[in-house]
Amino acid sequence: MIFSAANNAIAKARSCASRITHHTSLAALCAITLSGCAVAPTPEYDATWPEPPPPATAGNGAIYQAGHDIALFENSVARRVGDTLTVKLNERTNASKSSSTTTSKSTSAEVGGATIGGKSLTFHGRDLLTAGAEAETDFDGQGGSSQSNRLEGDVTVTVAQRLPNGNLLVRGQKWIQINQGKEYVRIQGIVRPIDINPDNSISSLKVADARISYGGTGALADANRPGLLSRFFNMGLPF
């Protein structure tokens, strides 16, 4: 009796443990799935804070003090780490490609019949041991592809680093929430201070090594891409 009760208790404990493990696996799978669908702000595009001011020093009575200079004959544009700069997006790309190929080939070969004593070897009026072959191939193929993109708008970024040659590494992002979805624009690149306009703006066409991305999250973005099962089964298809 004692051993039977003990065995029943052990079986129930194992059953409960298996159910807990099953539910835990389902919860982990759901968490991984939801985390894969979410798009969070990328930390590398976060705003860069200005450098801390130099330690205060005792005044020496001079008119000029280091760190307190004011540019009287320059425009107030971004030039230090942490300064803001407005990038005007004027991206337009148009690409098209077409190709056409036409080939043809014809081949013929003929072997004459055998002759004996200058006369053809025949049977019932037909030449014997004669052969001939003909072949002809044709190919006609055409293809075409076209793509166009357009992105316009303004994004205010911050100066992340000042390079030794004076150029500025800028980066930033903008998030906009509309109804049940969010849209974002990210940009990173290098600009020359001389290309910055007096109103502290610059065209994206003058941003070197530019990395611009545009996307969104929410119901509209989810409707424009296949579901998880569709993507899973399509990964192993060779066609």
What pLDDT was estimated at residue 12?
53
pLDDT tens-place string over residues 70-84: 666 677 888 889 999
186 neighbors 46 (Cβ within 8 angstroms): no
The number of residues making up the chain comes to: 239
What pLDDT was estimated at residue 56?
65
pLDDT tens-place string over residues 118-128: 666 666 666 66
What pLDDT was estimated at residue 110?
75
Per-residue confidence in pLDDT tens, the chain, 239 aa: 444 444 454 455 455 444 444 444 444 444 444 444 445 556 677 777 777 766 766 667 677 666 556 666 677 888 889 999 999 999 888 888 888 888 888 888 776 666 666 666 666 666 666 667 788 888 888 888 888 888 899 999 999 999 999 999 999 999 888 877 888 899 999 999 999 999 999 999 999 999 999 888 776 666 666 667 666 666 765 55
> What DSSP line would sit under 59-116, residue for residue?
--S-S--TT----SSS-----STT-EEEEEEEEEEEEEEEEEEEEEEEEEEEEPPPEE
> What DSSP line would sit under 190-221, residue for residue?
EE-GGGS-TTSEEEGGG-EEEEEEEEEEEHHH
Task: For residue 122, give the H/E element and its range.
Answer: strand 122-123
60 neighbors 68 (Cβ within 8 angstroms): no
Please report, for the chain, how many H helices and E strands are present, in that order.
Answer: 3, 10
**Domain extents for the chain?**
1-38, 43-49+71-95+150-227, 97-144
How far does Cα 27 stand from its chain's mean position? Answer: 30
Give the C-alpha separation, 39 to 205, whole Å.
27
What pLDDT was estimated at residue 9?
47
Q: What would you report as the CA-atom Rg of the chain, rounded to the nearest whole angstrom?
A: 38
179 neighbors 198 (Cβ within 8 angstroms): no
Give the C-alpha separation, 166 to 191, whole Å.
9
